[in-house]
Structure 1
Amino acid sequence: MASDRTHIACLGAGRMGRGIAVQFAYAGHEVVLLDAKPRDPAAFARLEAEALTEIGDALRTLAELGLFDPARADTILARVRVAPDEQAPEVLSRAGLVFEGVPEILDFKRDILARASGLMAPDAILASTTSTILVDDLSPSVADPARFLNAHWLNPAYIIPLVEVSPGRDTAPETVARLHAILESVGKVPVNCAATPGFIVPRLQTLAMNEAARMVEEGVASAEEIDKAVKYGFGFRFGVLGVLEFIDWGGGDILYHASRYLTGALGHERYRAPEVIERNMEQGRIGLRTGQGFMDYSGLDLESYRRQRLGALVERLRAEGLAKPPVLPD
């Protein structure tokens, strides 16, 4: 609908709201950062200047990195304004999509969401960007839970494509579909996930970050060497092959046996494979070799699939400056 295209509001003018504003303004939307609490004029002026300066700096950096003509930065910035709390009725009544981005304090969020939902248009979407609080812990405060859900952005919000969309038990399917369409229209990649602690990426990365820190603690390797291994091995592959796709590529049986070995060798249950890995083996869902794994490869031209994935890895090599030409004999 038209208001989705031209009227975006962000509740809170902090880092997340500013990052979202960059993304939507870049895509042609008018965005209002709505201050989430009353301030005297001098304090609001400082907040406004700080927010617009940060957004302008981000746009100029993106222009310098070649995303658009630097001469357009001011035009894009002009699509963003910061509004004081007292303008909430006007701002929220005109917005087709509202993102809440206030600090992760449950009661504060509930109060902000209750007030905002009561001022919004009857067909507008309200999305919290919380990274820790489940949507169903917030939805009882919202006037219409059918139009409420969580949209977890990853910082920097205007760079990382992913947005984790977590609907609540009362979120209407059309709300999810509309939010997906809007996010995709501005260049984002939304994925749905259940309302569960950690969503997808934080849950995965918490394990990886803790294990990396543990290896430093145990003297396995230096921080520099571990990060090099992540950049050119672990992360290099998963930027092309998703984690579950990678299990299928190598074979779920390899993960099963590796998990058993590491559990015994390192003496910790955190390496134990989940039951789904064993079930897949029992059912012959090993991956590419059997045509079924976490993904369904039946009917797929496996040779073309492998070539496409290997081609993408070669492009990563080129991007890293590591695709060296062969040395020919003299």
Structure 2
Amino acid sequence: MSTPALQHIAAVGAGRMGRGIAIAFAYAGHEVALIDIKPRALEATAKLETESLAEIGSSLRMLADLGMFDAGELPAIMARVRFVGLADAPAALEGADVVFEGVPEVLDGKRDAFAFICEHVRADAIVASTTSTFLVTDLAAFVTHPERLLNAHWLNPAYIVPLVELSPHPGTSAEVVDAMKAMLERAGKVPVVCAAAPGFIVPRLQALIMNEAARMIEQGIATAEEIDKATRYGFGFRFASIGVVEFIDFGGNDILYYASRYLAQAIDPTRFAPPAIVEQYMEEGRIGLKTGKGFYDYTGVDPDAYRRDVLGRSLGMLRHLDLLRAPGAALRPKE
């Protein structure tokens, strides 16, 4: 299918996610319709409109106060967002190039929302669900022209976190995926593509991390404060500078292999046993950077230049955290 110039955005569902998406795109320069399709009395619709726009304005003012943009830009950004109730929703959907569905995570509610959207939206408009619960393969049957459907999973707050996880179904048009990626990138986002699988990428990883953190508190291994400090200045610091899979290759798959085997024996064989691919790569000698191939292929890569680049990224994080010190600073008297 051919995709239109993606200018006009509709967010169906005026809750937390819809408001966050409205901020992200209005800030980027798009016209955004924040659409509520739930039948309500006029007074209730007016109340929701007031609350929604007030929250969007408050969030933008906070960002301006924190130096993200000049407060003088705020009225122009706000002017690009309009709240739309059920009565005017059909016209707003007809004018949308991209529709983000963000109604509550109830399958019947999703079905009804997509039926309403597809009744009024153009055939060439992209339709994206923001669901974190359902797979796009579960939703495809609810959409006419399903080749235009994909999941677009944002992380809260949507207007701050750069990542958006895109999950197409087997029938999704490649042009739709490419157009969505390009639009998000122009808006300052970082889209990644993953298969339709429970948990996408980030929720699947973070569920393991958060459960393990809670388990350590439960077992008396460390306090919440110490775990959070370790996360911010160790785990989070490291993976803000280098990707998880890149880190495996950088240190060596052998380190992961032996560490996993030790933890499996010492703590829990189910939680910590290395997956088959780690064992396979060990057998094949695919250790990572030091052998020239791991999860990535380092053919033609200068190892010293690459290590220097990673070190530079880490130094950038030290500067960001205001933890970079001059030589000998620890023994100098405080000013």
- Please tell me the TM-score bracket, short chain as reference: over 0.9
Shift, 1:319, TM fit? 1.1
How far apart, in 2, do the equivalents of 1:267 and 1:124 lie? 49
Shift, 1:86, TM fit? 1.6
Shift, 1:232, TM fit? 0.6
Q: How do 1:45-60 and structure 2 match up within 5 A?
A: 45-60=46-61
Q: How do 1:27-42 and structure 2 match up within 5 A?
A: 27-42=28-43
1:142 counterpart residue number: 143
Shift, 1:312, TM fit? 1.0
Shift, 1:61, TM fit? 1.1
2:196 counterpart residue number: 195
Q: Structure 1 unaligned runs (5+)? A: none
Q: Provide Cα deviations, 1:204-244, integer angstroms capped at 9, x if missing partner.
A: 00000000000000011111001101111111101111111
- 2:217, 2:224 within 8 Å by CA — same for their partners in 1? yes
How far apart, in 2, do the equivalents of 1:89 and 1:72 lie? 30
One-letter code aligned to 2:138: D
Shift, 1:20, TM fit? 0.3
One-letter code aligned to 1:43: A
Shift, 1:66, TM fit? 1.3
Shift, 1:36, TM fit? 2.2
One-letter code aligned to 1:147: R
- 1:163, 1:191 within 8 Å by CA — same for their partners in 2? yes
Shift, 1:68, TM fit? 1.2
2:218 counterpart residue number: 217
Q: TM-score, normalised by structure 1?
A: 0.97
2:246 counterpart residue number: 245
Q: Provide Cα deviations, 1:178-197, integer angstroms capped at 9, x if missing partner.
A: 11111111011000000000
Q: How do 1:96-245 and structure 2 match up within 5 A?
A: 96-245=97-246
1:65 counterpart residue number: 66
Q: Structure 2 unaligned runs (5+)? A: none
Shift, 1:136, TM fit? 1.0
Q: CA RMSD in A?
A: 1.3
SS of the residue corresponding to residue 6 of structure 2 reads: helix
Off by >6 Å, runs of 4+ in structure 1: none
Q: Provide Cα deviations, 1:20-52, integer angstroms capped at 9, x if missing partner.
A: 000100011110011021111100011000000
- 1:3, 1:94 within 8 Å by CA — same for their partners in 2? no
Instruction: Report the identity percentage.
Output: 58
Higher relative contact order (CA 8 A, sep 6+): 2
- 2:26, 2:80 within 8 Å by CA — same for their partners in 1? yes
SS of the residue corresponding to residue 199 of structure 2 reads: coil
How far apart, in 2, do the equivalents of 1:299 and 1:203 lie? 33
SS of the residue corresponding to residue 134 of structure 2 reads: coil
- 1:36, 1:102 within 8 Å by CA — same for their partners in 2? no
Q: How do 1:269-308 and structure 2 match up within 5 A?
A: 269-308=270-309
Q: Provide Cα deviations, 1:272-330, integer angstroms capped at 9, x if missing partner.
A: 00000011111111001101111111101111111111011011111111101111789
How far apart, in 1, do the equivalents of 2:322 and 2:84 lie? 46
Paired residues, number: 329
Q: TM-score, normalised by structure 2?
A: 0.96
One-letter code aligned to 1:35: D
